Each structure stands twice: as C-alpha cells, then as structure tokens.
Structure 1
Amino acid sequence: MTPVPTAPLVRWYRTSLAGHPDGLNFRRLWVGDTFSQFGTQVGLIVLPLLAVSVLGADEFEMGLLATFETLAFLVIGLPAGAWVDRMRKREVLVVADLVRGLALLTLPAAWLLETLTFPLVLVVAAVVGVATVFFDVAYQSYLPSLVPSERISEGNAKLQVSQSVAQIAGPGLGGVLVRALGAPLVVLLDALSYFASVLFLLRIRHREGPIRRSGRRLHSEIGEGLAFVFREPLLRRIVATTALGNLAGSVTNSMLVLYAIRDLGIGETGLGLALSVGAVGGLAGALLAEPLLKRVGEGRTIALALLPALPMYVLVPLAEGHPGQAAVTMIATSMAITGVGVVVYNVAQVSFRQRLCPRPLLGRMNASVRFVVWGTMPVGAFLGGVIGSRFGVLTALWVGVAGQALAVLPVLLSPLVRMRDLPRGLDQHA
C-alpha cells in the first residue's frame, strides 16, 4: 500500500498561521469566530423562520424584521468605531458575544411562557445587531495586531473559510433542526454557540498596548474616520460598490424566506439545503482568494471579482413556477456562483483597507466603512418590505437583481482594473 505523502501538508501547516507558533492567539480568535459565525448563520435562517412559521409574519413584517436586524449599523455604526478605538478589542469581542447569546435566550423563554410576540423578536434582532456592530468593528481592528502585516490577507482568508463553512452547514442544519425541533428551540442552540465563542476568546493571551486616551470630542474622532475613507479615491470606489451591492442584496434577502416557504413551497429543509449548497461557492471563494490575489493582483481582483455573479442573480426570481427540486437547484446555483465572487472581492478589499489605514485609526475607519456599506442594508430591507407588500414579492426580487448590476460600476469603471498592486499605509511595516 502506497503511503500518503504527508510531508508537504506538515510543512504547509507549520508555515501557515494555522500551525505557526506565533499564530496561537490567531488560532484562538479563529476558533472563537468560527463558533460565532455558526451562530450567525443559523440565526439568519431561524429568526425569519420563527417569524413566518410561529408568528405568521407577512411581507411588510418580514421587511421590518430584516430592517431591525441591520438597523444598528446605520444608527450607531459611526460612534462605535471611536468607542472601539478607546477599548481593548478582546473585551469588546467577549461582551458582544455574551450580549448576543443572552438576548437570543429570551425568545425560547418567551415561547415556553407563551408570551412570544413579533415586537419581542424585533427588539432581540435590534439588540443582536448592536452587539454585532461592536464585534465586527473590533475583530477587524484586532486582527492586524495578532498577525504580521504581510500575513493579513492569509488571516482574513482563514476567517473567511470559517464563515463560508458556517454558511454551508449553518442554514441546512438550521432548516433541518427547525423542522425537527421547532424554531424556538433552535434559537436556544444559536445562543449557546455565542457562549462557546466566548470561551475561546477568553484564552487569547495577546496583550494590547495602552488604550488611546483622547481629550477630543467624539464627533471630531468620528470625522477623522470618515475623512480617511472619503479622501482615498480607491477606497471611495470600493465603498460605493459594496454599499450599492448590500442595498440591492437586502431588498432580495428580506423577501427570500417568505418567497421560498410560501410561494415556492420548498419548506424549511429545502430552503436550508439551497442556502447550504449555495454557500459552497463562498468556501471556494475563500480558498481561491489568496492564489487569485497573487496571480491576478489585488486591484484587478477587486474590480473584476463580482462580474461572473451578475447573470446568476436572475435565477432566484426565475425559480417562480418551477417544481420544488428545480427551484431549490436554481437558488442554490445562483448563491454558489455569486458567493465565489463576493467572497474573493471581500477578502481583497478588506485586506487592502486594513493595510492602508494607520493602526490608531483602524476602529474608526472600519466603523466608517461599515456605516456606509452596512447602513444601506436596513434601507434595502425596508424597501423590500414596502415593494413586496405593494407590488408583490417577485417584483421586489427583480428590483434586487437590477440593483446588483448597477453596484459593480464604481469599481469596474475605475483605475483598479489596470492596477495589480495597491498602495500601503506608511506605518504598516511594524
């Protein structure tokens, strides 16, 4: 029997962040984030399913739920960055996961007490959204202090692998569990995943430097983050594309669960299967990101990564009228192919802005970007609910498709198309 050649795998493991001795703290962040990502991905399907199957939510209510899930990025996205820059990042991550877990626990408790209402679901969604704002800003600001500058792309790619695996397993598992246990009990499991994340985050031994104390007013510090984002021409283009893409995607996503369960009739298991199979594309994108960046170049990757996805968006509204299995296949195919491009694009653009930005400004820069690109999501979700309730779910889905086509223009019609390497910040040698 021919032995399996393990030496190359061992060398890869030892030289990568996964196995390098200096990567211990990163690995703990990675494992903690993986639990958190699983909780997030299960939550993305279970809260809408709870609203539809237990509370009978309609089009407008589904749009309202999606709005509340992301409203925090619009309301507190900017000050969160300045606050995070004044805090220890690991503590922010731990508290954010604790808040998410405790908030979600109220839903199965209310269900057991027969006091579960749609307004309570909205409140929990909003609280989880606030904690997510702080978690996302903090972890993107924390990563550059855990890994060398030249390995930031590798770190982001590995974190993206976890997110993609969670996207593959989470929705399918969530759909099956909702069918077997009911949505309220699956929310309980979702809460427990955040507590598991806390256990690993607490084991990170990296000690951050002195907390920056500033006598300046909060609005001045917020202005610095916004000014950095909008005075960088390439960053402006990237932010515009991401914001428009999220706006259009939120129009679609706000209607997707209702469309799949009520109009297509594919059930919780079918929807979970479609989302899980579709998320394979995200995993492929995470694995392809680093090789593509090396071969194609960072600038050209950002400019072109989203193009192959454009024809695939139409498969979701075109699934109307097809038999259950065909509809599942069409949604899964659309999400798989679009997932490749979106993940490659995100790895490239997040790594670029992390290297470009001075480290004392990272929290405010990340929060400013999130404010703009995630702030469009509650707007898109609300529009989806309004369009769906007045003109029908299918019309809302086609509006989302048109928005995705427009979203690629800022980066496609930019100098990024001709650029292989992108500029770095002046203090990123440390």
Structure 2
Amino acid sequence: MSKASRLGLLRDPDFGRLFAATALGQLGDRIVFLALPLAALEATHADEFRLGLLAAATTAGSLLVGLPAGAWVDRTRKRPVLAGADLLRALVLSTVPVAWWAGTLTIGWLYAVALVHGVLTVFFDVAYAGFLPHVVGRGRLLEGNAKLSAVRSVTSIGGPTVAGPLAGLAGAPAALWASAAGMAVSGLLALTVRTREPRPEPGPAPRLGREIGEGVRFVFGHPVLRAVVLGDAVFNLFLVLYQSMLLVFLTREAGLTPSGIGLVLSGMGCGALLGALLAARISARVGQGRVIWLASLATCPLTALMPVARPGWSLYAAAAGLAALSLGGVVRVVAQSSLQQALTPDRLLGRTSATARFVSWAGIPLGGVLGGVSGAVFGATATLWTGAVGMTLSALPNLLSPLRGPGAGAVPVPRTPA
C-alpha cells in the first residue's frame, strides 16, 4: 500500500487541521475525565453519592440544551461554533486550579464547572457532526470518522497517562491546566480550517419548537436511526452507572494509586485505538449495519470481570476486559455515526445529531445518580455488576430492528442530500 493510500484524508489540509484540533481537544477532555473526580476526592473529600452527582452534572447539559442546540446550530455555520465552544471550555476549566490555589474550591464549584463544561460540549459535538460531511464529503464519512476515532483513542491512552502522574505530582485540580491548554489550542486550530459550508438558506420565520420537532420526527420515523439511539440510551445509562464507581473500586478495592488508575484507563485507550484502526475493515467484512449490535454482544459481557478482580492476575484480566469494551464501542460508534450522517439531509444534520445525542445521553445523568446511590447503599462491587448486565442488554433494540435482517450488511446512502 502506498503512503498516499495510507494517509488518505490526512493529505487534505482542512481535514489535517480538524484532525489536529481533535487530537488536542480530546486530550484535554480525557484529562478532565480523570482529573475532575480525583479533584473532588482530593480537594473536597467527596463520598460515593457526591461523586455520582458530579458524574451526572458532567452530562446533564444534554438534557438541558440537547434538542435546542441542534436547531440553533442548523441556523448557522458550524466552524465558529466549534472554535467558540472549545475556547469557552478552556476558560471554565481553568477556574478549578485557580479556586484550589485560593482555598475556595468546593464540591459545588466542581458541580458548576462540570455542568457548564457539559453544556458547551453539547454545542461542540452537534456542530462537529454537522461540519464533518462538508469537510470530507459524504462518500468518505466512514474513513473520516475512523481516523478521528483513532486520534481520540490515542488521546484516551495519553490523557490518563499524563493526568495520573500529573495529579500525583501537582494535585488533581492543577492537572486541569493541561486540559484547558489543549482545548484552547484546539479552538484556535478550528479557526484555521478553510472549508466553509454553505450558509443555511433562510426559511420561514424561525420557530424553535417546529425545528426541534422536525429533527425528532426524522430520527424516530427511521427504523434504523430509532434503534441505534435507543440502544445507545440503554448502553450509556449503564456505562455511566458502571464508571461512577469504577474509580472508587480501583482505589479502595484494588488498591491502585492515581498512576495505576491512569494505566488501566490507558489500556482502555489502547483498545479504542485498535478498534478505530480496524473499524472500517470490520464494517466492510461484517456489514456496517450488522456490526453495530455484534460489537456490543461480543465485548460488553467482559466488563463483568472487574467486580470479581483483586490485586494480581484477575485485575489484569479485568483491565483487558475494559480494553475490549473500548474496542467494540469504537467499532460500533464509527459505524453508526457514519450511517447517521449518510442518511441525514444537510439541512437536518445538526438537529439529527442533537436528537440522537439527546436520546442517547438522556439516561447518563440518571446513570450517575443511580450509580452514586447504588454505591452508597450496595457498594461499588454490586454497582459494577449491575452496569455490566445493563450494557450487555443494550444490544436488544438493534437486534429487534432491521439491523439484524438480511439487508443489514450495507445501508443505502442518498446520492443527493435533500
């Protein structure tokens, strides 16, 4: 294979800039994933319930602005939204180390930062999903999503590897400086992308309710998209429930230090990277539709290895199970993201992405709260068992949809966007 073939879309300057911005932004986001709950443990001595509430606050933005964000983003060009959201996220995160050094950091402050960061992330993600088809073209969406997933996976490895030792040396709140810096540079890079999608054509007087309803009807009126978002909703609820007690289990039951936890999470990043590298090949062999439910069935049950793990070989096996979960998750997400973008007309890209995200993420705050309550009442181990079973059952909506039928191998792509 020639070098040009291997690089593919990376030879395109605009995709290269978007790729670099994604790398830095995702590195910052992965540091947040580890450093924010560690900051709550270290600086405020938060218990299991408060950690669950923090996880809920991180994702509550999807419920607060998830549907309106799609309508608002569809009214404008996407690139300025990407850059603005990244720069504002950097500013918000930088307040945590400042408050810590000033001696004023509280769990309430962390809740507020998590909530605002989550709202900005909604706008970023909705605009990102709508901007990518304009940068790469609809015919190369699978390649584009796979390459971007690969760089996200690399940062999943590097983020915890950086955040763990940094939190150990300088304190978890200080580690968020690195996160803020990555997002700030990501926002500046997004401004250098030269692709300009057409300005949305003016239609009737904007009516938020009507615009939101159009996106919701499109998603739920399509049997494939409906199954995908419902399966994601179940998976995400139980994933967050699982994750809300994972750090507690690794710290208190497995006896790991922040550096050790970083290595476990980096292993998940390795699985995600392998999944991104194999996603296009697996989708071509198995079928872009069929791989969505097969990936879940093959990897979610392995998360049950963690609640039975103890220091030693069983912990290594459990970490490998989490890596497999990440591998399957990336393969599934690349396939279904490309499918969603390919099936959606240009004028509905933002609203379809927002609707899918709203439904898929609707259970995430609930998962965080339930995880905290379950951890406080039943303990971290029982909560991990519940999460493992729930994630496995998330394949059911897709198994009961056209994705399981004889036509699931390939999904037709409209030649001309509506």
SS in 1 for 2:195: coil
Q: Which residue number in structure 2 is paired with residue 228 of structure 1? A: 218
Q: Distance in 1 between matches of 2:35 and 2:333?
A: 25
Q: Which residue number in structure 2 is paired with residue 127 of structure 1? A: 116
1:392 pairs with 2:390 = no
> Residue type matched to 2:227 in 1?
R
Counterpart contact for 1:281–1:336, Cα < 8 Å: yes
Counterpart contact for 2:24–2:185, Cα < 8 Å: yes
Percent identity reads: 43
1:233-276 deviation line (CA, Å, top 9, x unaligned): 11111111111000110101111112212232201011100110
Of the candidates 25, 45, 55, which is equivalent to residue 34 of structure 2? 45
> Residue type matched to 1:87 in 2?
T
1:12 pairs with 2:12 = no
1:104-159 deviation line (CA, Å, top 9, x unaligned): 11111111111111100110011110110000000010000111211011000011
> Residue type matched to 1:64 in 2?
L
> Residue type matched to 2:305 in 1?
L
SS in 1 for 2:362: helix
Query: For 1:25-64, what aligned pairs fall within 5 Å after superposition?
Result: 25-64=14-53
Of the candidates 211, 230, 237, which is equivalent to residue 240 of structure 1? 230
1:171-217 deviation line (CA, Å, top 9, x unaligned): 12211111122112111111111111022111111122123434131
> Residue type matched to 1:39 in 2?
G
Of the candidates 175, 181, 185, which is equivalent to residue 170 of structure 2? 181
SS in 2 for 1:115: coil
Q: Which residue number in structure 2 is paired with residue 307 of structure 1? A: 297
1:350 pairs with 2:337 = yes
Show structure 1 runs of 5+ residues with no match.
Answer: 1-7
Q: Which has the larger displacement, 361-370 or 333-342? A: 333-342
Q: 1:9 offset after TM fit, Å?
A: 3.8
Q: Distance in 2 between matches of 1:163 and 1:263?
A: 29
Q: 1:164 offset after TM fit, Å?
A: 0.5
Query: For 1:355-370, what aligned pairs fall within 5 Å after superposition?
Result: 355-370=342-357
Q: Distance in 1 between matches of 2:96 and 2:314?
A: 31
Counterpart contact for 1:264–1:327, Cα < 8 Å: no
Q: Distance in 2 between matches of 1:197 and 1:249?
A: 27
Q: Distance in 2 between matches of 1:10 and 1:211?
A: 37
Q: 1:327 offset after TM fit, Å?
A: 5.8
Change (3 A) 1:153 1:391: same
Q: Which residue number in structure 2 is paired with residue 216 of structure 1? A: 206
Q: 1:277 offset after TM fit, Å?
A: 1.4
Q: Which residue number in structure 2 is paired with residue 165 of structure 1? A: 154
Q: Which residue number in structure 2 is paired with residue 151 of structure 1? A: 140
Counterpart contact for 2:68–2:212, Cα < 8 Å: yes
Q: Which runs of 4+ in 1 moved over 6 A?
A: none
Q: 1:426 offset after TM fit, Å?
A: 5.5
TM normalised by structure 2 equals 0.96
Q: Which has the larger displacement, 254-263 or 243-252? A: 254-263
Q: Distance in 2 between matches of 1:18 and 1:353?
A: 23
Q: Which residue number in structure 2 is paired with residue 412 of structure 1? A: 399
> Residue type matched to 1:118 in 2?
I
> Residue type matched to 1:260 in 2?
L
Q: Distance in 2 between matches of 1:423 and 1:385?
A: 43
Counterpart contact for 2:43–2:105, Cα < 8 Å: no
Q: Distance in 1 between matches of 2:115 and 2:380?
A: 24
Q: Which has the larger displacement, 298-307 or 190-199? A: 298-307
Computed over aligned residues only, the root mean square deviation of the Cα atoms, in angstroms, reads 1.4
Q: Which has the larger displacement, 137-146 or 277-286? A: 277-286
Q: Which residue number in structure 2 is paired with residue 290 of structure 1? A: 280
Q: Distance in 2 between matches of 1:180 and 1:328?
A: 25
Q: 1:168 offset after TM fit, Å?
A: 1.1
Change (3 A) 1:334 1:289: same
Q: Which residue number in structure 2 is paired with residue 421 of structure 1? A: 410
Of the candidates 186, 198, 204, which is equivalent to residue 197 of structure 1? 186
Show structure 2 runs of 5+ residues with no match.
Answer: none
